[in-house]
Chains A and B, each alone.
Chain A
Amino acid sequence: DQQVKQNSPSLSVQEGRISILNCDYTNSMFDYFLWYKKYPAEGPTFLISISSIKDKNEDGRFTVFLNKSAKHLSLHIVPSQPGDSAVYFCAASVTGNQFYFGTGTSLTVIP
């Protein structure tokens, strides 16, 4: 059973606007969450992470929000740029052992 879910397979956003990618999880023991970005023909690359003791982490244009009560995290990209067009995966783990990935959301930023 999928422990990490990304219910939106795709998202299109105008350049300069905000992109919001969502992720839900079922395991309340997860204590570390990450977002990866993947371009075609490349492996995923790390984008940003958050531990369960925080509810927000920011790195430049990227912010991750964690709502533990709702078992939900989101990635905000502001402002969105065409180079942000990629597939985004969220992932979660318990104390950094196994990592469970969502199914991915394909983001297209329209110039």
Chain B
Amino acid sequence: DADVTQTPRNRITKTGKRIMLECSQTKGHDRMYWYRQDPGLGLRLIYYSFDVKDINKGEISDGYSVSRQAQAKFSLSLESAIPNQTALYFCATRGGQNLYNEQFFGPGTRLTVL
């Protein structure tokens, strides 16, 4: 089983709709992240959380919100989707004990906003 899972894997929605992307992990990591990938722009950080009570904005948080329901779950919401939020979204986790370690990514959610 995958350590970091994302649901749904693909989603098509309409402008103005509310949508939630979910991320779950079995790695026991305390740190979780949401990124979006756009062609030519790489991965950009939307939000990150160092534990259940800690939520931080990333580079591009406008138009998004998050919820850390438990250590293992981190959800990303688009309250009113717009076409320029069409992108590939990745969740990632990272253990916090060591400052110098890598992130583990989920398989991604491809979101299309019409």
Residues of A within 8 A of B (CB): 4, 6, 9, 32, 34, 36, 41-46, 49, 51, 89, 91, 95-96, 98-104
Contacts and interface: CB of A to CB of B under 8 A. Distances in A.
Given A42-B108, A98-B58, A104 B103 contact: no
Contact of B103 (A51, A99, A100, A103): A99
Interface of B: 4, 33, 35, 40-45, 48, 58-59, 90, 92, 94, 98-108
A89 B108 CA distance: 16
A89 B42 contact: yes
A99 to B, nearest CB: 7
Given A34-B102, A96-B101, A43 B44 contact: no
Contact of A43 (B40, B48, B99, B106): B106
Q: For A32, A42, A89, A101, which residue has the most chain B Cβ atoms within 10 angstroms?
A: A101
Contacts of B59: 98
Nearest to A94: B99
Leading 10 A-B pairs by shortest Cβ distance: A43-B105, A46-B102, A96-B99, A103-B42, A101-B43, A101-B42, A44-B105, A43-B107, A32-B100, A43-B106
Contact of A103 (B41, B98, B101, B102): B41
Contacts of A9: 40
A103 B37 CA distance: 9
Nearest to A95: B99
13 contacts: A6-B42, A36-B105, A42-B108, A43-B92, A43-B106, A43-B107, A45-B105, A46-B103, A91-B43, A98-B45, A98-B58, A101-B42, A103-B41
